[in-house]
A and B are shown apart, each in its own frame.
Chain A
């Protein structure tokens, strides 16, 4: 299918769309074209503007500038409902249907067939069954929707949208919680819709799926259009470069000689550790004084790996050992008890407690580890707080200041201090430099290095490949929720990481052997 000759008419045209939130320019003059009967991937990393684009097109947000044409006529829906009425339907990852109603009611809510004011239940069920049969879905439509799998719920949502005469169907990460078999079913439905001339916009993090089903790809980065390509003519490595925004030529990272560090013995080891539908089983050994970087695209399984290691999700396969002894990590409590620490990605919502002071934030994890029966005295708390304020150069050096008033970089240091106060053996840092200004950025990286010189094992997640290359002793590359490659020593550079991310299929399936 050579789409560059463009036999199909444009169905949805977005021209010069801009949207700002305060000073943040979320979308800048973005163009996007969807043709009838095509499946079009909308790709980009965090903050690229994918969801802003969808929400601006479907009227969830008003747009600042630009226009949207559907089938040649300009449309400007003011709400999601108006967009559906105009023919643009969106199915989100979190299915917007009512799990307590029957499948049939969900399909026809608000437009049930009636006679003398009474719903013709039998007629409605017959129509519902016939509608779903078009998508090869044969289920009892009288059952509550909540009794069925997420895949069935997605197809029901799609069927409702299509039956309400949708011409454009936007699927926002529909496959994130589906297993392989369910993805196949969903893809069959998508292909069927495309054959009928419906335009499908597919937002996903799974590049294999993009190459499997999409005709065309549009890439956004930092709110700007990077390009629109035909899938068949876009090599993976090129796509990843478009998404991450770097050229191979510019990857001159300053990997210093600091890596001549002696590597200590293994302090934590995970074997065949994984969780079905979350992260494929992986092997991971962490040594004292070593920084292991986790690299991959958004949604590739980096954070998922960290959450498994920290016990925030329970593994359903494999085993973990700490200092040679088998352990069970059922909850973050267990992980803390074994000397693990975790600084999450969402600093504001999962990390700091904004109204508490710097001192209180620092002693939080230590107090939790000791248990409430052994409270830290006020002077002990102050001693610990001052020690870390000096050690990490937290500014302003005032332990009684609410942490919410500190800058992002200093908040991050307080989070580090919180875990360092518990004297951990392994610290997991998820995007430690996100939202931090350039100066503080370098300082955090210096801190990361100093920490492992002190014999701490670090597992660091970052989207900044340069950063990972700078401080990592080993880099584990993830793709589509699996550990696919591992780079060590001189092999660690940005182009090798990019190449490993881009490898199609399971060519690099040595899966992180230590």
Chain B
């Protein structure tokens, strides 16, 4: 398949990066490091899966970071102040997120507005609403939270595959199936290829747009719940800038920023590469953690340049593979 090459490059970057870390820190290659990599980046992985769908369809969703922040505050207040059972709070926030995403998708489609602007408005809206609810960090002490954080699959070598890491892996697997093996997924690629052509081919473009942004917001809500497990608190300033981290992960994972090409597996690798850099910095102990951002920036540049180069080559080699024609 054509989506292999960029993903293959991402995978190589990850493997080479991991190998380099191992050379420098011999105990890097352990199941503990690997499991922590998954746990620490679980919320980013979940939200990046949704972002993958949005970007492949030719859109962008800048609201996801704010939706995560809103979700943590909402869940914390619902459990601690209102005394709702956690599962009820989760169901409520996911429904709210679905409505929020559907509204953004509908505005984008009906008013033919650029997704950038609409989701930028959504970003301010969600962040503002979370400040309105609470400006302080609210710790969550529900029993479910300690149960979840205690749960883990023991890996050989001492690693603990936590519940939130498992949730992330499940989301990645489900996302991959949805994107690559369903009509819905094919339509997502079609939208990224050309909106007008997709409409001409009889695909309901409007409802697809609504559903794609709904998916992204619901996954952002799920990421928010996972984030609240991770920090055991709700705080309106949490996950600031995560929308940009997830866009970076998607692009590093080989998805075309202009839409039409990409994969969920690539996105997971993109998330893990960012996590790898962070882990390296933690191991080193002397480097500023902001190096994560610098290296991510460099990688982004490299991948975007690579995509442009590959597009250029594809255009020059051109659509001239005549196929076997026997008139």
Closest to A99 in B: B193
> Which residues of B have CB within 8 Å of A144?
2
Residues of B within 8 A of A81 (CB): 199-200, 202
Stretch at the interface among A32-40, A135-143, A238-246, A328-336: A135-143
- Encoded as 1 (CB less than 8 Å from any B CB) or 0, chain A from 168 to 182 comes to 000000000000011
Interchain CB contact (< 8 A) of A118 among B182, B192, B200, B321 = B182
| Cβ-defined contact, A143 with B202, below 8 A | no
Are B197's CB and A149's CB within 8 A?
no
CB distance from B206 to the nearest CB of A (A): 13
Check B321–A147 contact: CB distance below 8 A: yes
* B203 interface residue per 8 A CB criterion: yes
Kindly report which residue of chain A lies nearest to residue B324, judged by CB atoms.
A138
Of B182, B183, B189, B325, which one neighbours A100 at CB under 8 angstroms?
B189
A112's nearest neighbour on chain B, judged by CB, is: B183
The answer to whether the Cβ of B320 comes within 8 Å of any Cβ in the partner chain is yes
Contact of B261 among A96, A100, A181 (CB under 8 A): A100
Would you call A148 and B327 a contact (CB within 8 A)? Answer: no
**Residues A151 and B322 in contact, CB atoms below 8 Å apart:** yes
Asked whether any CB of chain A lies closer than 8 Å to the CB of B36, the reply is no
| CB nearest to B186 among chain A residues | A105
* Chain A proximity of B19: nearest CB distance (Å): 33
Report chain A residues within 8 Å CB of B327.
136, 184-185, 188
Are the CB atoms of B325 and A185 closer together than 8 Å? yes
A114 to B192, CA, bound (A): 22
The answer to the question of B294 belonging to the interface, with a C-beta cut-off of 8 Å to chain A, is no
| A67: chain B residues within 8 A (beta carbon) | none
CA distance A105 to B76 in the complex (A): 45
Q: A262 CA to B261 CA in the complex, in Å?
A: 64
The interface bits of chain A over 114-138 (1 if a CB of B lies within 8 angstroms of the residue's CB, else 0) are 1001110100000000000000111
Q: Given the known A-B contacts A119-B183, A148-B319, are A98 and B325 also in contact in the complex, defined by CB atoms under 8 Å? A: no
In the complex, which residues of chain B have a beta carbon less than 8 angstroms from the beta carbon of A139?
Answer: 323-324
Q: Is the pair B319, A84 in contact by a Cβ cutoff of 8 Å?
A: no
Determine if B2 and A149 form an interchain contact, defined as CB atoms under 8 angstroms apart: no
- CB within 8 Å for A109 and B190 given contacts A81-B202, A136-B326, A149-B320: yes
Q: Cα distance A101–B203 when bound, in Å?
A: 14
Alpha-carbon distance A136/B325, docked complex (angstroms): 7
Chain B residue numbers with a CB within 8 Å of A99 are: 193, 319
A153 beta carbon closer than 8 Å to chain B: yes
Contact across chains for B186 and A112 when beta carbons are under 8 A apart: yes
Residues 170-193 of B, flagged 1 when their CB comes within 8 A of A and 0 if not, give: 000000010001110011011011
**Does residue A455 face the partner (Cβ distance < 8 Å to B)?**
no
A22 at the interface (CB under 8 A from B): no
Cross-interface CB contact of B200 among A96, A105, A148, A181, cutoff 8 Å: A96
- A109-B186, A110-B203, A136-B327 known; A121 vs B261 contact (CB < 8 Å): no
B1 within 8 A of A: yes
A312 is an interface residue with CB less than 8 A from chain B:
no
> Contacts of A184 on B, CB cut-off 8 Å?
327
- Residues 176-227 of B contacting A (Cβ, < 8 Å): 177, 181-183, 186-187, 189-190, 192-194, 197-203
> Does B234 reach chain A (CB closer than 8 Å)?
no
Chain B nearest CB from A507 CB (Å) reads: 27
Contact B322 A152 (CB under 8 A): yes
Chain A residues closer than 8 Å to B197, beta-carbon distance:
96-98
Decide if the interface of chain A is mainly helix, strand, loop or mixed.
Answer: mixed
CB distance from B247 to the nearest CB of A (A): 20
Contacts of B325 in A (CB 8 A): 136-138, 151-152, 181-182, 185
- Within the assembled complex, what's the spacing in Å between the Cα atoms of A473 and B2? 57
B322 touches A149 (CB 8 A): yes
Q: Residue A110 contacts which of B181, B192, B202 (CB distance < 8 angstroms)?
A: B202
Contact B203–A109 (Cβ < 8 Å): yes
Distance (whole angstroms) from the CB of A105 to the closest CB of chain B: 5
Does the CB pair B323–A146 fall under 8 Å? no
- State the Cβ distance, A131 to closest chain B Cβ, in Å: 14
B260 at the interface (CB under 8 A from A): yes
Q: Are A149 and B186 in contact (CB under 8 A)?
A: no
Q: Within 8 Å of chain B (Cβ to Cβ): is A80?
A: yes
Provided the pairs A100-B192, A101-B193 are in contact, do residues A84 and B324 lie with their beta carbons within 8 angstroms? no
Task: Let me know if B182 and A117 touch, CB within 8 A.
Answer: yes
Within 8 A of A (CB), among B293-327: 314, 319-327
Contact A84 B202 (CB under 8 A): yes
A150 at the interface (CB under 8 A from B): yes
Q: What's the least CB distance linking B327 to chain A, in Å?
A: 5
> In the complex the two chains form, what is the Cα distance from A376 to B91 in whole Å?
70
- Which chain A residues lie closer than 8 Å to B181 at the CB level? 118-119, 121
On whether the beta carbons of A147 and B319 are closer than 8 Å, the reply is yes
Smallest Cβ distance from A129 to chain B, in angstroms?
12
Closest to A186 in B: B327
The answer to whether B186 and A119 touch across the interface, beta carbons within 8 angstroms, is: yes
Within 8 Å CB of B314, what residues of A?
Answer: 146
A407 smallest CB distance to B (angstroms): 35
Cβ contact of B198, chosen from A98, A147, A148, cutoff 8 A: A98
Chain B residues contacting A146 (CB-CB under 8 Å) are 314, 319
Quote the shortest CB–CB distance from A109 to chain B (angstroms). Answer: 5
Distance of A138 Cα from B327 Cα, bound (Å): 11
A98 touches B193 (CB 8 A): yes
A151 neighbours in B (Cβ, 8 Å): 322, 325
A150–B320 Cα distance when bound, in Å, is: 8
Chain A residues near B324 (CB-CB < 8 A): 138-139
| Contact string against A for B residues 213-254, beta-carbon threshold 8 Å, 1 for contact and 0 otherwise | 000000000000000000000000000000000000000000
8 contacts between A and B (CB under 8 A): A96-B197, A101-B186, A109-B186, A118-B182, A119-B181, A143-B2, A147-B319, A182-B322
B interface with A by C-beta (< 8 Å): 1-2, 177, 181-183, 186-187, 189-190, 192-194, 197-203, 260-261, 314, 319-327
| Supplied contacts A137-B325, A185-B325, 17 more A-B pairs, CB within 8 Å | A80-B200, A81-B202, A96-B200, A100-B261, A101-B193, A110-B202, A119-B183, A138-B324, A139-B323, A148-B319, A149-B320, A149-B323, A152-B322, A152-B323, A152-B325, A153-B319, A188-B327
> What are the 5 closest A-B residue pairs judged by CB atoms, nearest first?
A98-B193, A139-B323, A100-B260, A100-B193, A138-B324
